[in-house]
Amino acid sequence: MKIRAGYDIAFQCFQDTPMTLMLSIDPARVGDLLSEHSIQFTPNIPSRDYVDMLGNTCTRIVAPAGLIVMRNDFLIADRGLPDEVALEARQLEVGDLPDDMLVYLLGSRYCDTQKLSALAWSLFGGATPGWQRVQAICDYAHDRICFGYEHARCDRTASEGHEERVGVCRDFAHLAVTLCRCMNIPARYCTGYLGDIGVPVDPAPMDFSAWFEAYLDGRWFTFDARHNHPRIGRIVMARGRDAADVAISTSFGAAQLAGFAVTTVEISESALPLAKTAKAA
């Protein structure tokens, strides 16, 4: 299958403002591209890409004072298969984990493991280690938090999401990641595109999505505590310890969001339908 994806994002800057962007797809998906994938800036300004310590492609710019618009519109091939389910995937003992997995057991800015460790063991200590335990954590986070865009808050931690019981996709992911880490399961936060493919169309405006991956049986598996069932057409942009590692934009100075639209839609061979978008001003 083919997916059309992209964005139209604008910021109002009050002076020349250095920014770091995470708006490129995962390097592992570059081979699936069917068209050019590049960030277009208005006004046209220089940009430079680099790969961060977690393997994500980042873009550095200095946004000039005034309105800056960043756009991308690309086609990508996808297998069209739902997220893999591996019921027999085992949880590895901490002593058997690769060295580079240990960081995904630690607390981080939004994944405050020290506040949820006792709860996690009381809830999931009796669950079968491995896939069943991660799925039990997903079920719990899915039921615990009520989704609503009006509940979005950029500084909510996992323990606060657990107590407040409201949030958006990042809060579901943070809670599930934190509970997994409390149970000695390496887990990392993911952000990217997830369109309404193979499911009823969501009337809410399209946005970037957040989910997570758990390390079982020597590899990473995708889980989604918000939707809590396998989905088709995920396009990863970045992975990290939590949302702080994968912010779509980090400005080193005042930059006010002035417009935001995301596109993620399956296309047919014969047509390119209008993308599902929403704009904010």
Same domain, 166 and 231: yes
Same domain, 227 and 167: yes
> Which positions ≥6 away from 251 have C-beta within 8 Å?
11, 13, 17, 18, 19, 63
pTM score, whole prediction = 0.93
Residue 103 lies in a domain: yes
Per-residue burial over 186-202, b if 16 or more Cβ lie within 10 Å, else e, is: bbbbbbbbbbbbeeeee
Residue 237 CA: distances (Å) to CA of 54, 177, 199 = 12, 18, 22
Residue 274 lies in a domain: no
Residue 170 lies in a domain: yes
Same domain, 238 and 101: yes
Interval 2-50: pLDDT, tens: 999 999 999 999 999 999 999 999 999 999 999 999 999 999 999 999 9
3 with 78: CB under 8 angstroms?
yes
Read off φ and ψ for residue 234, nearest 5 degrees. -70, 140
CA distance 44 to 16: 14
> Which positions ≥6 away from 58 have C-beta within 8 Å?
20, 21, 22, 24, 49, 50, 51, 52
46 with 61: CB under 8 angstroms?
yes
**pLDDT value, residue 281:** 27
Same domain, 144 and 218: yes
SS (H, E, C) 149-201: HHHCCCCCCHHHHHHHCEECHHHHHHHHHHHHHHCCCCEEEEEEECCCCCCCC
**pLDDT value, residue 278:** 37
Same domain, 71 and 107: no
**pLDDT value, residue 270:** 58
Residue 125 lies in a domain: yes
Residue 139 lies in a domain: yes
**Domain that residue 129 falls in:** 94-245
**pLDDT value, residue 275:** 41
For residue 200, whether the previous peptide bond is cis, meaning omega lies within 30 degrees of 0, is: no
**pLDDT value, residue 274:** 42
Residue 206 lies in a domain: yes
Helix (H, G, I), strand (E, B) or coil at 228: coil
CATH number for the domain spanning 263: value is 2.60.40.2250
Same domain, 62 and 113: no
Tokens read off for 142: 């899915």
Same domain, 210 and 236: yes
Same domain, 112 and 54: no
Residue 85 lies in a domain: no
CATH number for the domain spanning 228: value is 3.10.620.30
Same domain, 136 and 236: yes
Cβ burial, residue 91 (10 Å; 0-12/13-18/19+): buried
Strand ranges, E, within 1-108: 2-13, 17-21, 40-42, 48-51, 57-63, 66-77
CA distance 239 to 74: 21
CA torsion sign for 19, 25, 30, 34 is: negative
Same domain, 135 and 235: yes
Tokens read off for 97: 């984990």
Q: How many residues does the chain have?
A: 281
CA torsion sign for 159, 245, 93, 88 is: positive
Residue 182 lies in a domain: yes
Q: What is the mean pLDDT of each run of 10 residues along the chain (281 residues)?
A: 97 97 96 96 97 96 98 97 97 98 97 98 98 98 96 96 97 98 98 95 91 98 97 98 97 96 87 41 27
Same domain, 66 and 119: no
Same domain, 258 and 195: no
Which residue pairs, CB below 8 angstroms and at least 24 apart, start in 25-28? 25/57, 25/76, 25/192, 25/235, 25/236, 25/237, 26/56, 26/57, 26/192, 26/235, 26/236, 26/237, 26/238, 26/239, 27/51, 27/55, 27/57, 28/236
Read off φ and ψ for residue 32, nearest 5 degrees. -90, -10
Other residues' Cβ atoms within 10 Å of the Cβ of residue 66: 12
Q: What is the total count of domains within the chain?
A: 2
